[in-house]
C-alpha cells in the first residue's frame, strides 16, 4: 500500500528547495502551500504576467489530483485565466500516480513566458480588434481577386462618354440590317424583318384557309412515284400543279412560327 503522507512530505521538501526566491514558495501546512509563479527570473527581464497557485493535497495524493485554485494573477484577462486553468487540469490528470506539482509549476511558467507582454489599455484593445478586422477584410478581398482575376478592377473602370454610347434606335437599326444579312446569306431562315414576321401565316392558318392542302402531301408523293418510274422525257411533261405543290411543301419558311401557337385543347 502506497504511503501517501510520505510522498507528500518529500514533495514539499523538494519544492521548498527548488523555489527559493522570496515569497515564491510558501508552506501553509503539512498538506497545503502557495506557489507564486513568474515567466522569468528577476535578472532575465520584466515580468508582465504572473499567477499564484494555492494547492492542498487530498489524502490519496498523488494517486488523485490535489485541490487547487488560482488565488491571484497579473496581466491576464478572464479569457486567459480560463485557458490556463484548463491546461493545468490536463497536466494534473496526465501526471496522476506520481508527484506532479513541480511539473505543473514548470508548465505554468512556460505558459506565462509565451504571454509575457504588457497589458493593453481598453483603447489599445479596441484598436487591436479594429486592426485585426481590417486585416481580415483585406485578406478576404485579396482571396477574391485571386479566385476571379478576370473581374479585377471592373468596378473602377471608366465608362465611355454618353455621346459615344449606342442608343436604342441605333441598335434596332443595326439589328434589322444584321438579321437581313443573315437571311440573305442563308444562315437564318425566313424573310420577315423588324417584327413584320408577325404578319406571316403559320402552317395551321394555311390549312384553315385551303382545306385541299390537307391532301397535298399525298398528291406530291404520287407524283414523285410516277416521276421515278418514267424516263427523262416523261419528266418534262409532268403535271405543273403537282410541281407547284411540291415546291410549296419544300418552302420551309411558311412553317416558321407554327410551334409558337398552341393548339386548342379538347
- Confidence tier at 159 by pLDDT (50, 70, 90): confident
Residue range 35-64: mean pLDDT, rounded: 86
Task: Give domain status of residue 182, yes or no.
Answer: no
Q: What is the pLDDT of residues 93-110, one digit of tens each?
A: 999 999 999 999 999 999
96: left (phi over 0), alpha (psi -120 to 50) or beta: beta
Q: Which pLDDT value is given to residue 162? A: 73
Residues in the chain: 266
Domain containing residue 48: 4-115
SS3 assignment, position 208: helix
Report yes or no: 239 and 223 within 8 Å, Cβ to Cβ.
Answer: yes
Report yes or no: 144 and 154 within 8 Å, Cβ to Cβ.
Answer: no
- Confidence tier at 153 by pLDDT (50, 70, 90): low
Closest CA to 256 of 187, 188, 174: 188
Whether 20 has a pLDDT exceeding 90, the answer reads no
Q: Which pLDDT value is given to residue 30? A: 93
**Range of weakest confidence among 20-24, 32-36, 162-166:** 162-166
Total structural domains within the chain: 1
Average pLDDT, the chain: 76
Higher pLDDT, 42 or 117: 117
Closest CA to 41 of 50, 32, 33: 50
232: left (phi over 0), alpha (psi -120 to 50) or beta: alpha
Bridge-based pairing of strands 32-37 and 50-56 is: antiparallel
Task: Give domain status of residue 39, yes or no.
Answer: yes
Task: Give domain status of residue 213, yes or no.
Answer: no
Q: What is the pLDDT of residues 187-239, one digit of tens each?
A: 887 655 444 454 455 566 556 655 555 555 555 556 566 666 665 555 455 55
Task: Give domain status of residue 64, yes or no.
Answer: yes
CATH at residue 35:
3.10.110.10
Give one DSSP letter per residue of 57-113, joined into a string. Answer: --TTTTSSPPEEEEEEEES--HHHHHHHHHHHHHHHHHHTTS--HHHHHHHHHHHHH
Task: Give domain status of residue 26, yes or no.
Answer: yes
Number of Cβ within 10 Å of residue 240's Cβ equals 8
Whether 88 has a pLDDT exceeding 50, the answer reads yes
Amino acid at each position: 500500500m502506497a504511503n501517501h503522507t510520505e510522498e507528500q512530505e518529500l514533495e514539499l521538501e523538494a519544492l521548498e528547495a527548488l523555489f527559493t526566491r522570496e515569497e515564491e514558495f510558501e508552506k501553509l501546512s503539512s498538506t497545503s502551500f502557495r506557489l507564486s509563479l513568474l515567466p522569468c527570473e528577476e535578472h532575465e527581464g520584466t515580468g508582465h504576467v504572473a499567477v499564484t497557485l494555492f494547492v492542498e493535497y487530498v489524502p490519496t495524493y498523488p494517486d488523485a489530483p490535489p485541490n487547487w485554485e488560482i488565488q491571484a494573477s497579473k496581466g491576464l484577462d478572464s479569457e486567459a485565466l480560463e485557458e490556463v486553468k484548463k491546461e493545468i487540469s490536463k497536466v494534473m490528470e496526465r501526471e496522476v500516480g506520481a508527484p506532479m506539482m513541480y511539473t505543473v509549476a514548470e508548465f505554468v511558467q512556460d505558459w506565462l513566458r509565451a504571454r509575457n507582454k504588457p497589458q493593453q489599455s481598453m483603447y489599445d484593445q479596441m484598436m487591436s480588434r479594429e486592426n485585426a478586422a481590417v486585416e481580415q477584410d483585406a485578406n478576404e478581398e485579396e482571396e477574391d481577386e485571386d479566385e476571379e482575376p478576370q473581374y479585377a478592377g471592373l468596378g473602377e473602370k471608366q465608362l465611355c462618354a454618353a455621346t459615344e454610347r449606342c442608343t436604342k434606335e441605333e441598335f434596332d437599326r443595326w439589328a434589322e440590317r444584321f438579321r437581313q444579312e443573315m437571311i440573305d446569306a442563308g444562315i437564318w431562315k425566313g424573310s420577315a424583318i423588324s417584327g413584320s414576321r408577325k404578319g406571316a401565316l403559320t402552317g395551321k392558318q394555311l390549312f384553315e384557309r385551303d382545306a385541299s392542302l390537307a391532301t397535298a402531301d399525298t398528291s406530291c408523293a404520287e407524283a414523285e412515284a410516277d416521276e421515278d418510274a418514267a424516263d427523262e422525257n416523261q419528266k418534262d411533261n409532268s403535271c405543273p400543279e403537282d410541281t407547284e405543290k411540291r415546291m410549296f411543301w419544300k418552302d420551309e419558311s411558311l412553317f416558321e412560327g407554327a410551334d409558337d401557337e398552341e393548339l386548342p385543347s379538347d
